[in-house]
Structures are given as structure tokens and as C-alpha cells.
Structure 1
Amino acid sequence: MTILVCGEALVDLVPVHEGPLLSPKLGGGPFNVAIALGRLGEKVSFLSRVSTDPFGEQILQSLRDASVDVSLVQRGDEPTTLAMTNLADDGSAQYSFYADGTADRLVQDPGDLPDEITTLSFGTLSLLYEPGASMYAALLHRAHAAGKLTMLDPNIRPAAIDSTSGDITADGFRRRFLTWLPAVDILKVSEDDSHWLGLGSDGSTVDDWLAAGVTAVVMTRGGDGISVFTTSGEIGVDGVQVDVVDTIGAGDTVHGALLAYLEKENIVTSSALSDMGKRDWERALGFAARAAAITVSRPGADPPWASEAPRD
């Protein structure tokens, strides 16, 4: 069984101390999810278009170092997307993006996927920037119709939406988001994502998402823990208290760790997900919370290895 992670890989430009210097760090929500899954020992493949520039070569090598299969990665001579990262005093991160004409947004439909793929993950800028966004949306619907388990993290970046030069407005993105939901088994959002998606005339809520067909909505609450909402109600676990260096990659680690847990438990269909009870979800979310706590305790998106994040 293989998990296929779909979406962008980019370079975060992170401030060094408090000076004007910036340090390049590999990132992007889907890239981080794939790295987390590989480090946790899962069989994982990555679908994206990666530049042939030096950053692209580093991206591919990092994926390989985490045992991520890159056979579905496409290459192009377009530049790598850059994200300017600003860190607040509490370690939280905000981003601005340089994505015009970059490689990842030009990804092509991969055609028929290998039979061993049981689960597909989608997220972040790949859902926003065309023409790749439409390709990923079609793949999401196709995979769900074929009985694959699907997980989506919109990972809202308002600055990226504001900078798309008329490609899509905030309300337009909220409308597009609603069209994905019938093909989504697990929707992962942060509290900030949930608030942003609820704004405007096209805003929606957790109840709307469940009514649209989502089986489980997983919501991260920072240091306060993680909750899951299903038609049966809400289940939550507390966060793990650690000294936070920064929160880069925390939500992506939750995403990857949750998929790793489900794969180990052979929960790879919509019906199996629907059958999960309170104790099942508490164990799954607890594992994700512990993994994320390790990530925030060290700088950058640095998910744990399997030896660092034992399951209960």
C-alpha cells in the first residue's frame, strides 16, 4: 500500500536571528507531508513538478533521503517557488510568495496511477495556482470515485490568494473549495483556516463540510491540541507541551502522522474511516499531536523519524 502526496515543493526564505539575512529552507505543505510520512516509515510517493535548478535538485535529494519515491515527479526548467517567511515572537509563521511562472504550478496529469496507491493527499498552493490547481482537483475527484481514501488540507495562505493577480478572489477560492468536498474523506484545517473559510457570502462551516460529504474534519488548535468532527460529534486530544522554537511544518506533520497512523491500522477506505470510534480517533490524534510537538521544538519544518515518535 502506498500513500501518494500531491502538490508543491518550494523554498522558504527564513530570517536568520533578527538581522536582514535569510536562510533557504526546503518546504511547501505537500513536500513536508511527504517527508513526514517517509521519516515515519510509510511507503509514500510524491507527485509534483520540480525545477531543474539547484533548489530543485536539493528538493529531490531530500525526498530520497526520507525514502520518498520520486518516480512520479515531473521536471522543468522553470524556477522553484519561493516563500518569504516572517516569524512572530510566539514562533508562528506568515508567508508571502514568489510563484509567477514557477515549475510546480505547471504539473501535468499523471494519467493512470499505480494500483498499489490506496490513499491520496492534496494541499496548499497546488490548490490555488493554475493550471495545476485544476489538474489536482480533477485527480482528487477521480481518485475518490475509484475508492481511494482522500485527504485535503487547504492550508489557507491569504497573502498567496491576494497576489494571484486576478486568477481567483478570496470568495472565488471559497466557492472552489466547496466543489472539492464531495471527493474528500478527511479535511484537515487549522482554526485560522476554518475562520477564513467561513467569511463572506460564500463562507461555510464544519457542519456544511460534513453535509457536503466529508467523513471527518480534523482541526488543529496550536498548543491546545487537535479535534476531529464527524456526524457523530467532536472528539479532541490535548496538545503536548514543549518549548516552541517555531511552528513551521506543524500542521503538515499532523497531516502526515495521521495518514501514517491510518495506514498502519489499514484504514484506507471511506467505510473504514466511518467505522472509527472515539478510542480509535483519540489514539490517532494523540500520535499526530506528539509528532507535531517534536517538529515545533526545533527550527524549520523538521518532522520526526519513526524512532522519535513511537505509537502508544
Structure 2
Amino acid sequence: MIVVAGEALVDLVPTPEGTLAPRLGGGPYNVAVAAGRLEAPVGFLSRVSSDLFGDRLIERLHASGVRTDLVQRGDQPTTLAVVGLTDDGSARYSFYVEGTADRQVTDPGPLPAGTKAVSFGTLSMVLEPGASTYERVLWREAERGALTVLDPNIRASLIHDPMAYRDRYDSWLPHVGLLKVSVDDARWLAELPDDAPEDEVLDVVRDWQGAGPAAVVLTRGGDGLGVLTATGDVIRVPPTPVDVVDTIGAGDTVQGALLAWLHDHDALSVEAVRGLDAGKWREALAYAGAAAAVTCSRAGAEPPFKRELEMT
């Protein structure tokens, strides 16, 4: 089984009428939904509010084939994210996180037998006290030999001490088996200019890989996907053509689809990820890119079901 650990929240997304429509989301939540819809065996580890939004979040997990055995419930409210869209459909966020349920997650102890991979990222690795809880799970699962997967998915407005966060991020890398990061997030983490060329970003990514991850997957926006493999090769695939409605959940879909692809190819281990050749990486990235393109073609984070990808 794959376990995805982190927050579930509600995005308030602009509509053509100028109102805000609630959409179920949160980086890790979207990853779990994407992997579940692609028929990977996946469970979600989080604390979800017992309010109406929380009930809807749980219902959507079940409808997407995601197990909820590890979900804790609490009477604190659901985190809200207000989404603004730029002209190209990219999303920017403001958050309402004080006293919300997902921050209060407690340590579940060792994860169930048969857990082969655990995915982390986004707000859950920033907001205390939950961040320290998820960090302990990361350390413990890496020590146990699970494939640990991290997407920092930076939300800079919530990182009040960037230097401390960057130091903490560096401390995670020796415990991470597969790192997924956007080029923009890599620039922020490395304190590079927003227009720093990708070759300069790759120099930093190589340092990160040397600290621990078997491979680093790069999301490159409209330029597609890339990976720095265990052998040091850089492999890129072009984007899947799509009419973009918005990009909400696109990177999360990439993460969920990669997990599903690794499961389908019996590659949910550090050793297997390290052993993927160039052809397999192109296949994996193309699959993840096709899934993300479907998400971009519709409003909000709506990853595809497996049957939808099979029809494309």
C-alpha cells in the first residue's frame, strides 16, 4: 500500500460569475485522490474536521478508492485556501489555517504492514504542531526501508522563517527516496533569482540528490517534466497538449500518477527507483504528464480516473 500523509482543505476558487466556489483539495489530499483514481492501493493519513467540509472530504476519498483507516477526525474547522488565478491559469493562494483540524494530527505509530511508500509535502511540513508529527513519520518510515517521497510544494506566505525552513528541508533529504519539486520551488529553496536558468537549478538539484534521494523529478510548467536519475542523467519529456482551464492540482496529480505508475511497475522501493533506465523514466513521466494535463483541462483539482487516461 501507498500512504499519503498531509493536509486536506477546501480551495475557494473564482468562478466566471465573480464568486468563489468551494473545491476539495490540499496538496497531499490531491495526491491521494490522483493515485486512488488511477487504481493504486492508497491510504490517507491526516486529521480531518468533523464539520460539513470534512465529511465531504472523506466522501470524496472513498469515491476515489482511497482508504481512510488512518484518518483522524476532530471538531476544529477545515483549513481554507482562497485561490487567485493569473491570466495563464496559474494559481496563487492565501490561507486560513489558525486552529484548523489538519494541524492537530497525532503520531499514528508504525504504519500498517505492507506499506511500501509514504508521500509527504505542502502545508503539512510547515505548520506546527503537525509538521513535527509528519517529520517523525518520515524518519521512522525511511528507517524501516519504505520509499519516502517528498514534494515540498512551497507556499511562501506561510513560511515565516525561510532560512529555518530551508535548513529543515536539507535535514529531510537524507531520509527521502524520491524527491519531486517544481523549478520555481527549487529556485525559492536555493535562494536563486526567479529568472535563474534551469541549468543553474539543476546544479542545486544535483547537490540535493547527493544528500539522499535516488532520483529527483522536476515539474517545469509549460515545458513539461524532467528527472535527474540515479546515474546523473537528465531526461525530459514535453508537455501533453491541453487547453488549460487552471493549473490547480497539476503538480499533485504528477505526484499521484508517479506513485501509481511505480506501483503498476513493481518499483515502489528506493532500489527500484534507482534502477529505472531512461526508457522507463520517459514512460513514467509521460504517464504523469498525461494525467496532469487532464487535471489542467478542468476547474479545480480534479485528477483523472484510470479509464479516462486509457481513452486518451
**Shared topology, TM-score over 0.5?**
yes
Identity across matched positions, percent: 54
Kept in 1, the 8 Å contact 2:178–2:270? The answer is no
Matches within 5 A, 1:1-312: 2-17=1-16, 19=18, 21-162=19-160, 169-199=161-191, 205-230=204-229, 231-310=231-310
Letter in 1 for 2:258: L
TM-score (structure 2 length as normaliser): 0.94
Kept in 2, the 8 Å contact 1:197–1:205? The answer is no
Kept in 1, the 8 Å contact 2:4–2:45? The answer is yes
Q: Return closer, same or farther for 1:160/1:18 CA change in 2, 3 Å cut-off.
A: farther
Letter in 2 for 1:207: R
Aligned-residue offset at 1:112: 2.0
Task: Give distance in 1, aligned partners of 2:311 and 2:13.
Answer: 32
Task: Give distance in 2, aligned partners of 1:41 and 1:18.
Answer: 35
1:91-143 deviations in Å (ceiling 9; x for gaps): 00000111011000110000121111111000100000011101111111110
Kept in 2, the 8 Å contact 1:4–1:120? The answer is yes
Aligned-residue offset at 1:24: 0.7
Task: Give distance in 2, aligned partners of 1:47 and 1:54.
Answer: 19
The alignment covers a number of residue pairs equal to 302
Kept in 2, the 8 Å contact 1:223–1:241? The answer is no
Q: Which runs of 5+ in 1 are unaligned?
A: 163-168
Aligned-residue offset at 1:311: 10
Say which SS state the counterpart of residue 85 (structure 1) adopts. Answer: strand
Kept in 2, the 8 Å contact 1:187–1:217? The answer is yes
Task: Give distance in 1, aligned partners of 2:77 and 2:275.
Answer: 44
Aligned-residue offset at 1:197: 0.5
Q: Which runs of 5+ in 2 are unaligned?
A: 193-200
Aligned-residue offset at 1:310: 3.0
Say which SS state the counterpart of residue 206 (structure 2) adopts. Answer: helix
Structure (1/2) with the larger helix percentage: 2
Letter in 2 for 1:264: D
Aligned-residue offset at 1:205: 1.8
Aligned-residue offset at 1:175: 0.6
CA RMSD of aligned residues (A): 1.5
2:196 alignment partner in structure 1: none
1:40-68 deviations in Å (ceiling 9; x for gaps): 11111000000011100000001011111
